[in-house]
Structure 1
Amino acid sequence: MGKYYCLIAGLPNIALDDSKLTYSISEFRQELDGILTKADKKLIDLFFLKFDNKNLIDHLKQPDRDSDQRGCITYEEFDALYKALKEEEKIPKNDRIPPYFKAFFRAYLDAQGKENNSEIPWEDRLAALYYAYAMKNPNRFVRDWFELNLNINNMLTAITCRKHGFDKASYIVGENEVAQALRTSNARDFGLGDTVDYLPDLGRIAEETDLMVREKKVDLLKWKWLEEHTFFKPFDIESVFAYLLKLEMIERWVTLDKATGEKTFREIVGAMKKGSDNALEEFKRNNKK
């Protein structure tokens, strides 16, 4: 892994409540071309696979649909893999297609013509395969980031299922320890109170009835996690990766209807900022060497 002193020193400061984009994530990716090592570039490519996932699901529903240009894999490449698996032919060699696409297509083909007893949508099944793939990455920060996202999604799902009397085991995805506990435990904290320190925060977030407000609170939790986990890696690929993730959050909120979201968002940021700053300062004090 490389050190990126000049790159990171030259990046503008950003905050989750920014009302303008410093870069789009696509522009930031272009800036990174020619700067990152080959190994570090693969981590950025891993992030952008989420848009190939979206394109794959979109093409299954509507083959002639336009692709999200942030993805790299074309419809023709998806189709060639799908047809090869369907016809049990030799799979064309393509280094751009990750192995979990094959697993997804095989599951999709196996389900054709059968009664679907799963409550989990295909896009969530593909996401679970993506998380599992990313959680095997050699970079610990990247592994932990994807596991954090998997856990947050699953915990919010489990809390919602319990609240409305749904069978949570039918909706939880993934096979890590948290997913297994969420499926099987009937305890109030799902038996995770001693291992998942952000579970109380998620419990409070889950009580929020406004879905947009809840999403913003989740992003604030993730933003804080990124700051804490890159504090001692200011010029490493982890900080570059975190900057990309932060840009994505800002890009999503800036493109929303400001009339419906901006006022509420700023109120939440203001209310939570003091607590977040105090928590981060405590983290820094506790981890000084």
Structure 2
Amino acid sequence: MFGSDYYCLVAGLREYALDADTKGFDARAIVAEILDGVSARDAKQVRLLYGYYDCENLAALRAGRAAHNPLGLLTREELAAELKSPKRLPEAVARVVRAYADPEGEDAEQVDTAQRFERALFGAYYAACERAGGDFLRAWSEFDRTLRNIAAAVSARAAGRNVGEAVVGGGDVAEQLQRSSASDFGLRGELPYIDAVIAAVNEEANLVEKERKIDRIRWREAEELAAFDYFDIDAILSYLVRVNLVARWSRLDPAHGREMFARLVEALDGRKLIENKQ
């Protein structure tokens, strides 16, 4: 699909965002508008992006926690139904749900149910993104998993816990996090953001400020991964990643949320997009 196919949709998102500044930021409404405006194939990528939050909510529900991230596409009732008989989850994720529901069943032969449910669930989610996602979604999910793994590994090391139990998924970086004793896990030459993540986790006592620093890394990566995409699905997915960050901070810290929102609106400047594309 050519990038220009979604020109009108992207222009409309800017108008919506400007309007939202006065009516209140509504990330779910933005997602609904995008799902209505993209092809069925691209809608699957949007839903897969938001599958992370569904997994988060699914893990909370199964553990009996009341927490529910409003960015998830499935309601609590729908998630409860998925725990009994998954039909709407990505197949890799559904397999994990079935395996833990029936440890003696066929699906359990393909899933390591000895690990925590949440760890297996997110490992399956990231694997689904790697297989089914487009360029942006594959790159973003790999980055997001790596960033979260680094933060988890640093925290586990500081608390004297087993790093291997905190890391999700496999691959060279995950293995390096588990076996290296170096302060940077021997990854400084491979991951330009690792020092910033380690510093945020180790040196920032204020939890809100720590999250703010890590989300700045996420924002920058989302922009860079779609730096040369303007009106295609990768540009829209990059925009949605930033929408999710704005939504999060609008709840945690309204002032910072408004600051991020202003950056989001500026990034949708149609004239700049056209100039950059030419």
Is the structural similarity TM-score above 0.5? yes
Once residues 67 and 198 of structure 1 are traced to their aligned partners in structure 2, the CA distance between those partners, rounded to angstroms, is: 27
**Pairwise CA distance, 1:77:** 4.0
Give the match for residue 186 of structure 1: 181
Give the match for residue 26 of structure 2: 24
- Counterpart contact for 2:100–2:117, Cα < 8 Å: no
- Counterpart contact for 2:136–2:225, Cα < 8 Å: yes
Give the match for residue 149 of structure 1: 144
Give the match for residue 47 of structure 2: 45
Once residues 27 and 45 of structure 2 are traced to their aligned partners in structure 1, the CA distance between those partners, rounded to angstroms, is: 14
Q: 2:231 aligned with 1:235, yes or no?
A: yes
**Pairwise CA distance, 1:154:** 0.8
Scaled by the length of structure 1, the TM-score of the pair is: 0.72
Greater percentage in helix: 2
Whose radius of gyration is greater, 1 or 2?
A: 1
**Pairwise CA distance, 1:166:** 2.4
Q: 2:74 aligned with 1:71, yes or no?
A: yes
**Pairwise CA distance, 1:208:** 1.0
Amino acid at match of 1:31: E
Pick the aligned partner of 1:216 from 212, 217, 228: 212
**Pairwise CA distance, 1:67:** 9.8
RMSD: 3.6
- Counterpart contact for 2:60–2:66, Cα < 8 Å: no
- Structure 2 portions without partners, runs of 5+: 105-112, 264-276
**Pairwise CA distance, 1:103:** 2.4
Once residues 209 and 67 of structure 1 are traced to their aligned partners in structure 2, the CA distance between those partners, rounded to angstroms, is: 25
Once residues 64 and 208 of structure 1 are traced to their aligned partners in structure 2, the CA distance between those partners, rounded to angstroms, is: 28
Distance of aligned partners of 1:205 and 1:41 in 2 relative to their CA distance in 1, 3 Å threshold: same
Pick the aligned partner of 2:160 from 157, 165, 172: 165
Aligned length: 245
Distance of aligned partners of 1:220 and 1:22 in 2 relative to their CA distance in 1, 3 Å threshold: farther
Give the secondary-structure state (helix, strand or coil) at the position aligned to 2:127: helix
Q: 2:133 aligned with 1:131, yes or no?
A: no
**Pairwise CA distance, 1:62:** 4.4
Q: 2:95 aligned with 1:98, yes or no?
A: no
Once residues 166 and 45 of structure 1 are traced to their aligned partners in structure 2, the CA distance between those partners, rounded to angstroms, is: 34
Amino acid at match of 2:94: F
Query: Relative to structure 2, which stretch is displaced further, 66-75 or 234-243?
Result: 66-75
Once residues 162 and 76 of structure 1 are traced to their aligned partners in structure 2, the CA distance between those partners, rounded to angstroms, is: 37
- Counterpart contact for 2:177–2:185, Cα < 8 Å: yes
- Counterpart contact for 1:19–1:254, Cα < 8 Å: no
- Counterpart contact for 2:45–2:133, Cα < 8 Å: no
Once residues 197 and 64 of structure 1 are traced to their aligned partners in structure 2, the CA distance between those partners, rounded to angstroms, is: 37
**Pairwise CA distance, 1:79:** 1.1
Once residues 152 and 106 of structure 1 are traced to their aligned partners in structure 2, the CA distance between those partners, rounded to angstroms, is: 27
Amino acid at match of 1:153: R
Distance of aligned partners of 1:12 and 1:60 in 2 relative to their CA distance in 1, 3 Å threshold: same
- Structure 1 portions without partners, runs of 5+: 82-93, 112-116, 274-287
